[in-house]
Chain A
Amino acid sequence: MLNKLYDWVDERLDITPIWRDIADHEVPEHVNPAHHFSAFVYCFGGLTFFITVIQILSGMFLTMYYVPDIENAWQSVYYLQNEVAFGEIVRGMHHWGASLVVVMIFLHTLRVFFTGSYKKPRELNWVVGVMLFGVILGLSFTGYLLPWDMKALFATKVGIEIAASVPVIGESIKILLAGDSTILGAQTLTRFFAIHVFFLPAALLGLLAAHFIMIRRQGISGPL
């Protein structure tokens, strides 16, 4: 049944080469943990992506209950965590995944660094990787404010002061982030929500696409 359906679509759209091109490729022996267990270090990039997918999915579901409004944000987080079935699990996935994705990126970066994989011809992929790291840190920073509890508020106050310490344009960055020159309040929360849920994920997906296209085009780096 499923095969027939596939054949029906394939006959009309010729989709086999497309998914072959995406999914069907050899994994060289030196990166396959089944051959050399130490090759597990090559898994960290994939694990980063896996957790990123979990973050996107759990985040999508969290927005079904969350409201970015200073009166109700904390209440909505409290409600979705304590009143909604599996709320603790879904928020927990997003909460713990947020830290884990940073850890995985860091390990992935270390692997790329110590195997020298950033060298010619893969310099551009390293650059895109650093940008991805920046986007993930931005997501971590903006997501931290959203529960609107005291820890989030004061962490953001400090974070915004750090941003404000940039020479010359620091004050503008601060106001652009906070939405007001002195108050960290209603406009800050809506801005951080917009950045966390729309702007940075869009940048993340674009950069990820570039990251993956480059690695497919260039192939994985050779054995040490």
Chain B
Amino acid sequence: MSNNRVSRRQFLGYTLTGVGGFMAAGMLMPMVRFAVDPILQQHEGGDFVLTDQAVADITEEPVRVDFAFEQVDAWYTSEVTNSAWVYKEGDKLIALSPVCKHLGCTVNWAGDTENPTQFFCPCHAGRYEKNGQNIAGTPPLGPLDEYEVRDQDGFVAIGAVRDNTLV
């Protein structure tokens, strides 16, 4: 028998706190889970989207290739057009995301006349090498993302976006 006898007052305090805690948790748990649901959702990689850009016309100079796909935004489904910078490295097709890794603006190839062999972001003058490598001293902290890309019956098909594998 322990020396610390629990008084009636303490006992009631503990039980009421416990019951109150359960009630609070019972209210809060569904609401918090409801709010964080998007964080816990699993996303499967997108399918390849066929573009009307012929692979034969792709050179070593990046060109902008638009591709449209059906985007499901919860209850809202719409046709969205994104673009990629596509070029050939030898025979290999490469597609880079135009989304600047600084704050999400859209980069252009040779957008800065002083750097005609680089990607350029007009928002804060971020620059990238042709393979997406960010140039030290400009705002971006990482390389441009890369799209999965393949030759589908002579046309460029663009797949899911992933981290840059070239740098």
Which residues of A line the B interface, CB within 8 A?
70-71, 154, 157-158, 160-162, 172, 175-176, 178-183, 185-187
Contacts and interface: CB of A to CB of B under 8 A. Distances in A.
The 8 closest A-B pairs by CB, nearest first: A185-B73, A186-B76, A158-B103, A161-B104, A161-B103, A175-B39, A157-B104, A186-B73
Interface of B: 35-36, 38-39, 41, 43, 71, 73-76, 102-105, 123
A142 to B, nearest CB: 15
A181 B71 CA distance: 13
Contact of A179 (B43, B74, B103, B123): B74
B74 A158 contact: no
A181 B35 contact: no
B149 to A, nearest CB: 18
Is chain A's binding surface mostly helix, strand, loop or mixed? helix
Contact of A176 (B38, B74, B76, B123): B38
A176 B39 contact: yes
Contacts of A71: 76
Which of B71, B103, B123 has the most chain A CB atoms inside 10 A of its CB?
B103
A185 B77 CA distance: 10
12 contacts: A158-B104, A161-B102, A161-B103, A161-B104, A172-B39, A176-B39, A178-B38, A180-B74, A182-B43, A185-B71, A185-B74, A187-B73
Contacts of A172: 39
B156 to A, nearest CB: 21
Given A70-B76, A185-B76, A187-B74, A180 B38 contact: yes
Given A71-B76, A178-B38, 11 more contacts: A158-B103, A158-B104, A161-B103, A161-B104, A175-B38, A181-B43, A183-B73, A185-B74, A185-B76, A186-B73, A186-B74
A71 B75 CA distance: 12
Given A158-B104, A161-B104, A162-B103, A176 B36 contact: yes
